[in-house]
């Protein structure tokens, strides 16, 4: 069975600090896809990034960066110079095997990030 | 333009009632999903439909019945509501269920509270 673990339940930082959210996954698939979603206090789920298992290049988007390491089955997310608006619950997710069963997302438990002014 | 929309946003009802949540997507996607987020924020898939056909049916009580009148709509009907049904229900859509790399886009969620 596939599994996603976000060991950090809550993180609290002060504005402008850098923060890294950890994500570790388990899968038997050789091809798989990983995602990060953000859930701000307003409640919606916002897609941030998708990464496939063949591409281990790190990705940067503004203050956000992602570090994918297949050897350690990790897909960590770093926010540089955090801002109060980054306060949210962040979910890491793994896309399960398709075929007749269809594609589904297995989510981690989420990390509540609080950025204090 | 709203990509995935859900109504209502909030739903407060008594135990034993029957209620429905509606979902619509204007992304032209073929596959739609229902996820449940419990009080601890854990998200779990309930159902998925592809072009009106049921694809995924997790171990969800029979009181929950999804209905897809067309590929742009996926409604969730819940009979005989119980206290444990209180949660946030998210609808999502993606282009094709067979393609694992497809991103799922979520609606704003429906917050259901059963009293």
**pLDDT tens track for B64-113:** 999 999 989 999 999 999 999 999 999 999 987 766 667 899 999 999 99
pLDDT category of residue A55 using cuts at 50, 70 and 90: confident
Contact B100 A97 (CB under 8 A): yes
Phi and psi at residue A82, in whole multiples of 5°?
-60, 150
Q: How far is A83 from chain B (nearest CA, A)?
A: 23
Q: Which helix (H) or strand (E) holds B4?
A: strand B4-7
Strand residue runs (E) in A17-57:
19-21, 24-26, 33-39, 46-52
Give the tens place of pLDDT for each residue, A58-114: 888 899 999 999 999 999 999 999 999 999 999 999 987 555 556 778 999 999 999
**Residue found by looking up tokens 């203050």 in the block:** A63
Instruction: Give the residue-averaged pLDDT of A39-65.
Output: 90
B4-46 pLDDT, tens digit each: 999 999 999 999 999 999 999 999 999 999 999 999 999 999 9
C-alpha span between A59 and A72 (Å, rounded): 17
- Check residues A32 and B65 and name the one with the higher pLDDT: B65
pLDDT over 70 percentage in chain B: 94
Alpha carbons A108 and A110: distance in angstroms, whole number? 5
Residue A2 has pLDDT above 60, yes or no: yes
Q: The sheet that has B19-25: what strands, in order across it?
A: B4-7, B19-25, B73-78, B64-70
pLDDT at A9: 96
Does the pLDDT at position B60 exceed 90?
no
Chain A residues touching residue B94 (CB < 8 angstroms):
103
Q: Omega before B8 cis (within 30°)?
A: yes
> Closest-CA residue in chain A for B111?
A43
Contact (CB<8Å) A102/B43: no
Mutation target for B interface from A54, A88, A105, A108: give the one with most B CBs within 10 A.
A105
Question: Confidence class of residue A54 from pLDDT cuts 50, 70 and 90?
Answer: confident
Are the Cβ atoms of A103 and B108 closer than 8 angstroms? no
């Amino acid at each position: 069975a596939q599994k996603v673990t976000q060991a950090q339940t809550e993180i609290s930082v002060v504005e402008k600090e850098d923060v890294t959210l950890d994500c570790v996954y388990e899968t038997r698939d050789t091809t798989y896809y990983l995602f990060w979603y953000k859930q701000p206090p307003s409640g919606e789920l916002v897609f941030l990034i998708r990464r496939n298992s063949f591409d281990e290049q790190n990705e940067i988007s503004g203050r956000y960066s992602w570090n994918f390491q297949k050897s350690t089955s990790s897909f960590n997310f770093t926010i540089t110079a955090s801002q109060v608006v980054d306060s949210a619950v962040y979910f890491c997710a793994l896309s399960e095997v398709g075929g007749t069963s269809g594609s589904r997302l297995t989510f981690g438990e989420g990390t509540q990030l609080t950025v204090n002014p | 333009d709203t990509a995935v929309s859900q109504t209502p946003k909030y739903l407060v009802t008594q135990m034993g009632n029957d209620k429905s949540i509606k979902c619509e997507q204007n992304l032209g996607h073929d596959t739609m999903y229902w996820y449940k987020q419990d009080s601890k924020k854990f998200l779990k898939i309930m159902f998925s439909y592809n072009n009106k056909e049921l694809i995924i049916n997790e171990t969800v009580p029979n009181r929950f019945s999804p209905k897809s009148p067309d590929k742009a709509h996926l409604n969730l009907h819940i009979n005989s509501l119980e206290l444990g049904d209180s949660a946030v229900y998210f609808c999502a859509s993606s282009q094709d269920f067979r393609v694992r790399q497809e991103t799922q886009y979520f609606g704003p969620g429906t917050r259901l509270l059963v009293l």
